[in-house]
């Protein structure tokens, strides 16, 4: 999609969308079109029974005195509840198969900030997102038709900068994360995934890939144990973005990248197992965020680390009761091979903390079904050993609408992981499953300020919960991480 920020006079064809706030006079129109648009609106709104209620709309085809094929007056609801992304996504979803190739949002006169105006485009892009890569029989009327989005506004250069330097790259990153999560597991497996990440070096990222041999040397047997039942080699991918001062310690982003989770020998039931292609959603968020940071040349040092593994049952697969030694030296009794994400993260987190001595470390993982029982699909679980970090993340959540909810950590939960056969076991009891999973990770972070986001419910959804999201892969976490870095580490 081509994106242009322009003055009102530049809107000369296609469909022009005019947001109308409920209970307010028509304010859009800028200088060129004020009169004709006002006249058209006043003449038609009564017959259309339109007062700007959210999502209500009416169209005028071939408007007189305006150089466009169609005017759409689209209800924006009341101003206090207005979200430009949600507004634009609703419009775009309603009209994405209309055949319109050029759509223009007339925003001059509405009093929107540069960020809000830029986020109109984000709403269109996220709302019309589809993963059609493997559909060969889609007829052209089933393909989204928008090719050019114009936004007219008083200060187009300022809005263009807000888009190019922040919102556009964040949106690109989120779309990359959605694509990765949507890819089927025969196409996206550890090696092909690592190769794909390598192509993102075009943004200026430096990408390093560790193979099984190198991980064996490092002693990463918790991570490696998950992959031993798979024909596909496990990979650890490290993405470097050095946009800050040389002397500045980095922040680390760590992601669970289980490209398919069968459960291993503790096999999952067959129904809905196909969703487990998305068990790399945490890693996808990290990759998307690193892509965003590099494309917008973020002034911070950030390292992204993803553990890429396929969890399979096999003659060589690890068994319930196996004891593995993690890179940290701590031993783990693997009582359930389906609690594999924490095993991957244990080594990835230990590696991040000892190798890079980060100021802060955040990991993201589709870690537990229990977080869906606790928080549904609306909030990710936030677990942290640091109140300042909790505050930063909750604030970034507020600005991006990628919501998180803080959950507890404590010694009482931690004790549930004690095992008579090793330093710990990889599952707790039958209750508080998300918290015991977080306690497990906590044992591998030392005193590094760290947060774990359990995104099992927010990264994958089986129905659409928000017009900006598709039915499955949301790309949750990219914008949150990008915002967190921007607000706290870029001076
Ligand atoms: N990948 C799953 C968690 C998951 C479940 C993500 C549903 C998305 C949707 C994870 O590896 C897992 O299997 N967790 C187990 C842990 C249990 C064995 C302690 C779970 O949640 O049942
Ligand atoms: Mn599992
Ligand atoms: Zn898993």
Q: Average pLDDT, stretch 210-234?
A: 99
- For residue 30, what pLDDT band results from cuts at 50, 70 and 90? low
Q: Which fold has domain 2-152?
A: 3.40.220
Our mutation pick for probing the ligand 1 site, out of 276, 281, 338, counting the most ligand atoms within 8 A of Cβ, is 338
Q: Average pLDDT, stretch 425-452?
A: 98
pLDDT given at position 64: 85
Residue with token string 């187009």: 156
Q: Is the pLDDT of residue 31 over 80?
A: no
Q: Average pLDDT, stretch 141-152?
A: 95
Instruction: Please write the tens of the pLDDT for every residue from 381-390.
Output: 999 999 999 9
For residue 437, the Cα-to-chain-centroid distance in whole angstroms is 22
Considering the candidates 296, 342, 425, 443, report the single residue annotated as catalytic. Answer: 342
Q: Is the pLDDT of residue 309 over 90?
A: yes
Instruction: Describe the chain by its helix, strand, coil percentages, rounded to 5.
Output: 40, 20, 40
Instruction: Please write the tens of the pLDDT for every residue from 161-199.
Output: 999 999 999 999 999 999 999 999 999 999 999 999 999
Q: Average pLDDT, stretch 434-451?
A: 99
pLDDT given at position 247: 96
Question: With a 6 A CB cut-off, is 310 part of the ligand 1 pocket?
Answer: no
The rounded distance, in Å, linking the Cα atoms of 155 and 327 is 54
pLDDT given at position 8: 81
Q: Average pLDDT, stretch 306-312?
A: 99
For residue 27, the Cα-to-chain-centroid distance in whole angstroms is 34
Q: Average pLDDT, stretch 38-57?
A: 92
What are the angstrom distances between the C-alpha of 53 and each of 19, 28, 78, 90, 121?
10, 16, 8, 13, 21
Question: With a 6 A CB cut-off, is 368 part of the ligand 1 pocket?
Answer: yes
pLDDT given at position 326: 99
The rounded distance, in Å, linking the Cα atoms of 288 and 282 is 10
Question: With a 6 A CB cut-off, is 426 part of the ligand 1 pocket?
Answer: no
- 234 Ramachandran zone, left/alpha/beta (phi>0; psi -120 to 50): beta
Q: Which atom, in ligand 1's list, is nearest to the CA of 311?
A: 11
Q: Which atom, in ligand 1's list, is nearest to the CA of 459?
A: 8
Those residues with Cβ within 8 angstroms of residue 340's Cβ, 6 or more apart along the chain or in another chain = 226, 258, 261, 264, 309, 311
Q: Is the pLDDT of residue 424 over 80?
A: yes
Q: Is the pLDDT of residue 29 over 70?
A: no
Question: With a 6 A CB cut-off, is 456 part of the ligand 1 pocket?
Answer: yes
Q: Which atom, in ligand 1's list, is nearest to the CA of 437?
A: 19
The rounded distance, in Å, linking the Cα atoms of 294 and 243 is 8
Strand partners, 70: 15, 61
Ligand nearest to the CA of residue 262, numbered in listed order: 2
Q: Is the pLDDT of residue 210 over 90?
A: yes
Those residues with Cβ within 8 angstroms of residue 228's Cβ, 6 or more apart along the chain or in another chain = 314, 316, 317, 318
Instruction: Please write the tens of the pLDDT for every residue from 452-478.
Output: 999 999 999 999 889 999 999 999 999
Active site residue 342: yes
The whole-chain average pLDDT of the chain stands at 96
CB-CB contact of 213 with 282 (8 Å): no
Q: Report the share of the chain in percent with pLDDT over 90.
A: 91
Considering the candidates 130, 196, 198, 268, report the single residue annotated as catalytic. Answer: 268
Output the DSSP codes for 213-281: HHHHHHT-HHHHHHHTT-SSPPEEEEEEEE-S-TTSPPEEEEEEEEEEE--TTSPPPSTTGGGGGGTTH
Exposure string (b/e) for 210-222, b if CB count within 10 Å is 16 or more? bebeebeebbbbb
Active site residue 268: yes
Query: From ligand 1's centre to the CA of 273, what distance in Å?
Result: 11
- For residue 28, what pLDDT band results from cuts at 50, 70 and 90? low
Give span(s): CATH 3.40.630.10, the chain.
169-489
Q: In this predicted structure, which of 23-32, 43-52, 442-451 has the lowest mean pLDDT?
A: 23-32
pLDDT given at position 23: 87
Among candidates 112, 116, 106, 110, which has minimal Cα distance to 9? 106
For domain 169-489, give the CATH superfamily. Zn peptidases (3.40.630.10)
pLDDT given at position 50: 95
Taking each helix axis as running N to C, give the angle between helix 84-95 and helix 114-127, from 0 to 180 degrees, rounded to the nearest 10.
40
Question: With a 6 A CB cut-off, is 457 part of the ligand 1 pocket?
Answer: no
Q: Average pLDDT, stretch 320-324?
A: 99
- For residue 35, what pLDDT band results from cuts at 50, 70 and 90? confident
Q: Average pLDDT, stretch 24-39?
A: 70
pLDDT given at position 32: 54
Ligand nearest to the CA of residue 336, numbered in listed order: 1
Q: Which atom, in ligand 1's list, is nearest to the CA of 433?
A: 19
pLDDT given at position 33: 57
Q: Average pLDDT, stretch 100-113?
A: 93
The rounded distance, in Å, linking the Cα atoms of 266 and 340 is 10
What are the angstrom distances between the C-alpha of 139 and each of 38, 142, 144?
39, 5, 11
Question: With a 6 A CB cut-off, is 172 part of the ligand 1 pocket?
Answer: no
For residue 34, the Cα-to-chain-centroid distance in whole angstroms is 39
Question: With a 6 A CB cut-off, is 370 part of the ligand 1 pocket?
Answer: yes
Give span(s): CATH 3.40.220.10, the chain.
2-152
């Amino acid at each position: 999609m081509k994106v242009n920020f322009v003055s009102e006079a530049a809107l000369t064809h296609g469909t022009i969308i005019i947001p109308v706030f409920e209970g307010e006079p028509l304010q859009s129109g800028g200088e060129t079109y004020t009169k004709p648009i006002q006249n058209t609106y006043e003449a038609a709104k009564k017959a259309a029974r339109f007062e700007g209620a959210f999502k209500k709309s009416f169209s005028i085809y071939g408007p007189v005195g305006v150089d466009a094929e169609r005017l759409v007056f689209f209800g924006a609801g009341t101003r206090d509840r207005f979200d430009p992304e949600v507004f634009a996504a609703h419009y775009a979803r309603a009209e994405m198969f209309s055949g319109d190739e050029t759509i223009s949002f007339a925003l001059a006169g509405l009093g929107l900030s540069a960020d809000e105006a830029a986020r109109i485009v984000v709403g269109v892009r996220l709302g019309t997102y589809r993963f059609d890569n493997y559909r060969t029989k889609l007829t052209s009327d089933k393909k989204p038709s928008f090719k050019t989005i114009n936004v007219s506004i008083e200060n187009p250069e300022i809005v263009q900068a807000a888009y190019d330097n922040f919102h556009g790259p964040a949106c690109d990153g989120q779309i990359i994360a959605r694509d990765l999560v949507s890819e089927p597991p025969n196409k996206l497996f550890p090696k092909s995934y690592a190769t794909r990440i390598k192509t993102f070096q075009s943004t200026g990222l430096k990408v390093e890939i560790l193979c099984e041999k190198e991980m064996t040397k490092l002693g990463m047997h918790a991570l490696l144990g998950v992959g031993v039942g798979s024909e596909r080699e496990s990979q650890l991918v490290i993405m470097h973005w050095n946009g800050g001062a040389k002397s500045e310690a980095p922040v680390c982003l760590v992601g669970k990248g289980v490209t398919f989770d069968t459960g291993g020998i503790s096999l999952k039931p067959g129904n809905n197992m196909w969703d487990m292609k998305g068990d790399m959603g945490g890693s996808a968020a990290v990759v998307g965020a690193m892509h965003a940071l590099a494309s917008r040349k973020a002034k911070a040092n950030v390292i992204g680390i993803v553990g890429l593994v396929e969890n399979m049952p096999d003659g060589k697969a690890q068994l319930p009761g196996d004891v593995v030694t993690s890179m940290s030296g701590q031993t783990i009794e693997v009582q359930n091979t389906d609690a594999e994400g924490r095993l991957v993260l244990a080594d990835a987190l230990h590696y991040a903390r000892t190798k890079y001595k980060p100021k802060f470390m955040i990991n993201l993982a589709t870690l537990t079904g229990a977080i869906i029982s606790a928080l549904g699909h609306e909030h990710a679980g936030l677990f942290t050993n640091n109140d300042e970090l909790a505050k930063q993340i909750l604030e970034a959540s507020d600005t991006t609408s990628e919501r998180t909810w803080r959950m507890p950590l404590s010694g009482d939960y931690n004790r549930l992981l004690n095992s008579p056969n090793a330093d710990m076991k990889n599952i707790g009891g039958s209750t508080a499953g998300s918290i015991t999973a977080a306690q497990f990770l906590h044992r591998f972070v030392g005193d590094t300020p760290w947060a774990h986001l359990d995104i099992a419910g927010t990264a994958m959804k089986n129905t659409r919960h928000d017009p900006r999201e598709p039915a499955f892969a949301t790309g949750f976490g990219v914008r949150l991480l990008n915002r967190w870095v921007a607000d706290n580490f870029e001076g």
